Amino acid sequence: MSAPNARERKACWDARDELWKCLDVHKDQTSACEKLQREFEDKCPAQWVKYFFKRRDFLKYKEKIQNEGYEPTEGASKL
């Protein structure tokens, strides 16, 4: 399977960005963005879909930590 070329990469990134916009508006309710989700999965290799979702989750988590602070879990050992 050959790697996507520049045109295919851009189509994938655009589909991803449209999906992200929709998920942001609908507060991550995937049911509201099913059509865009399908387009994203069509236009991007499966490995990239997984990678971009992981990255989105990570960036949201990072934002949450930066805005809300971090609470260590109960009974967590001191380093």
Partner 1 sequence: HRASYGQQQGIGSCWYVYQEKQKKIQMQRPEQLRKMAVRQGYFSLLDHTGQQRTKRDFLGCWVLLYFGFTHCPDICPDEVDKMTSLVCILDDDPSLPSVQPVFITVDPERDDVSAMAKYVKDFHPRLIGLTGTAEEVKQAGRDYTVYASAGPKDEDGDYIVDHTIIIYLVNPDGLFLDYYNRMKSDVQIAENIRNHMINYVKLFPD
Which spans of this chain sit near partner 1 (rule: CB under 8 A)? 1-3, 5-6, 9, 12-13, 44-48, 50-52
Give whole-number Cα distances, 73 to 15, 29, 63, 77, in Å: 37, 27, 19, 9
CB of 19 to partner 1, least distance (A): 15
Cα angle 13, 19, 25; round to 5: 135
CB of 30 to partner 1, least distance (A): 20
Nearer to partner 1, 26 or 50 (CB): 50
What type of residue is 13?
W
Nearer to partner 1, 32 or 53 (CB): 53
